[in-house]
Amino acid sequence: MLNIGLLGFGVVGQGVYHQVCSRSDLAIRRILVRRSREEIEALAARDIREIVEDDSIHIVVEVMGGLHPAYEYICAALEAGKHVVTANKAVISAYYRELTELAVRKGVALRCTAAAGGGIPWLTTLERCRRMDTIHAIRGIMNGTTNYILDAMHRQGADFDAVLHKAQALGYAEADPAADIDGDDIRRKLVISANIAFGCVVPEEAVPTFGIRTISAADVAAFQAAGFACKLLGSARLTEQGMAARVEPTLVSEHSLEASVPENYNLISYDAALLGRQSFFGQGAGRQPTAANVVQDCLDILQGATGFYIRSMENVTVDNSGVMQRYYVRTPSRDAWLDGLAEETMGPGIITRPVSAGEMLTWARKQAGQDSSTFIAALDA
């Protein structure tokens, strides 16, 4: 049996607690909490040292979220020779090299399957694929909040603000939804996925994003009339320049697999040399699905897993200049550069001729600073 020190007792933490309590091969030894909780008072710890200095604890499970003090707590656990399992995409994305190298140096496991895909066993699938195949590209719907919003707008014809408020009422969206609707959440998951898929280290800030906070019902109506659905996608692939990686709204065929993904579900795919394209669909968040992947990571450690998913840590440059795509662009203040790209109209916007994704995303970020209503979406090749 392996004993667990649990950091955090929120939504996911409670899911982990109840799933572990039903097992005979894992046990919760201590739980780090800020406030008293009657049902777990006998296990409560108020200081991280009560967990990292406890020799009877083998695995530290971090489900607090945020960068700090999560990063310091994970480092302390690894330094103490304890395995670590986390669902924290922010800390893994921001401190990828530091944490993975520390785990390898200490000879312990660092697992974060729930950090990208929630309940989908996505990262462990990438690990297995890399054993005997070469992954060329990854792409997917990696955020349930934005997929719920876009799916509802397409199905109901509703405007963005109304659907966002409903998503918040249902608990799909946070009170401050910026990380979701601006693409930061997907970027973190994409960075972790790309690092494992390609054996590299990508700085989070190097991946450009454009979110969905400015999409309108008129945009969606135009997309539907043309046979498209809009999805917020993260994508990365290896190129001669290094890696092309970005997060952007994308118009996919209404008959595509991505277009059929409903509500708050995720769909993530890879393209590999031998296996071709394989896609994985499921709950990208939620108490029980996310907790299940956390517990699965603990079981992998029980069966002897050490280190991280991969050992390769090559630095790579993100360069989207070689990705040529057509774009839908809507802005009331068009400039000469955009006018020179315009090919046709679609509803309230225009469709451009093929343009470098790097160039368009750079222009769009600058344009959004001048005109906050600007919206763009790539047309899927």
Query: Looking at the predicted structure, is the pLDDT value of residue 38 above 90?
Result: no
93 and 152 inside one domain = no
Residue from 377, 319, 322, 333 nearest 355 by CA: 322
What's the pLDDT band for 36 if we cut at 50, 70, 90? confident
Total number of domains constituting the chain: 2
- String of DSSP letters for 41-57: GGGEESSTHHHHT-TT-
Residue whose pair of structure tokens reads 């970020």 in the numeric block: 365
Average of per-residue pLDDT across 38-54:
95
Instruction: Decide: residue 311, CB within 10 A, 0-12 exposed, 13-18 middle, 19+ buried.
Output: exposed
What's the pLDDT band for 7 if we cut at 50, 70, 90? very high
Containing 78, the helix (H) or strand (E) segment is: helix 70-79
Check if the beta carbon of residue 189 is closer than 8 Å to that of residue 284. Answer: no
Kindly report the number of other CB atoms within 10 A of residue 271's CB atom: 15
> In Å, how far from its chain's centre is CA 13?
19
- Residue 242's domain comprises 124-281+320-379
Over the stretch 300-313, which tens digit does the pLDDT of each residue have?
A: 999 999 999 999 99
Query: Looking at the predicted structure, is the pLDDT value of residue 297 above 80?
Result: yes
Average of per-residue pLDDT across 2-21:
97
Q: Is residue 49 part of a domain?
A: yes
Check if the beta carbon of residue 116 is closer than 8 Å to that of residue 142. Answer: yes
Kindly state the percentage of the chain with pLDDT values over 70.
Answer: 100
Q: What pLDDT does residue 234 have?
A: 98
- We report the CATH number of the domain holding residue 324 as 3.30.360.10
Query: Looking at the predicted structure, is the pLDDT value of residue 381 above 80?
Result: no
147 and 163 inside one domain = yes
Q: What pLDDT does residue 58 have?
A: 98
224 and 329 inside one domain = yes
188 and 328 inside one domain = yes
Q: What pLDDT does residue 350 have?
A: 98
Q: What pLDDT does residue 360 have?
A: 98
Q: Is residue 116 part of a domain?
A: no
Residue from 259, 261, 265, 231 nearest 144 by CA: 265
197 and 249 inside one domain = yes
Per the annotation, the verdict on 189 as an active-site residue is: yes
Q: For the packed helices 184-198 and 96-106, what is the interaxial angle rounded to 10 degrees? A: 40
- String of DSSP letters for 315-352: E--B--TT-EE-EEEE-SS--HHHHHHEEEEETTEEEE
Q: Is residue 74 part of a domain?
A: yes
Q: Is residue 7 part of a domain?
A: yes
- The one-letter code for the residue type at 258 is E
102 and 225 inside one domain = no
Over the stretch 234-271, which tens digit does the pLDDT of each residue have?
A: 999 999 989 999 999 999 999 999 999 999 999 999 99
- Residue-averaged pLDDT of the chain: 96
Query: Looking at the predicted structure, is the pLDDT value of residue 349 above 90?
Result: yes
Q: Is residue 313 part of a domain?
A: no
275 and 291 inside one domain = no
6 and 147 inside one domain = no
Query: Looking at the predicted structure, is the pLDDT value of residue 137 above 90?
Result: yes
Q: Which residue has the higher pLDDT, 27 or 170?
A: 27
Residue from 113, 133, 132 nearest 123 by CA: 113
Q: What pLDDT does residue 250 have?
A: 98
Q: What pLDDT does residue 177 have?
A: 96
Residue from 139, 259, 135 nearest 190 by CA: 139
30 and 106 inside one domain = yes
142 and 192 inside one domain = yes
Q: Which of 82, 106, 189, 231 is catalytic?
A: 189
Q: Name the 3-class secondary structure at 253.
A: strand
Q: Is residue 220 part of a domain?
A: yes
Over the stretch 315-337, which tens digit does the pLDDT of each residue have?
A: 999 999 999 999 999 999 899 99
193 and 294 inside one domain = no
Number of helices (H) and strands (E) in the chain: give both, helices first: 14, 19
Q: What pLDDT does residue 255 have?
A: 97
50 and 8 inside one domain = yes
Q: What pLDDT does residue 357 have?
A: 98
Q: Is residue 315 part of a domain?
A: no
Over the stretch 169-222, which tens digit does the pLDDT of each residue have?
A: 988 899 999 999 999 999 999 999 999 999 999 999 999 999 999 999 999 999
- We report the CATH number of the domain holding residue 39 as 3.40.50.720
Check if the beta carbon of residue 147 is closer than 8 Å to that of residue 263. Answer: yes
Q: What pLDDT does residue 107 have?
A: 97
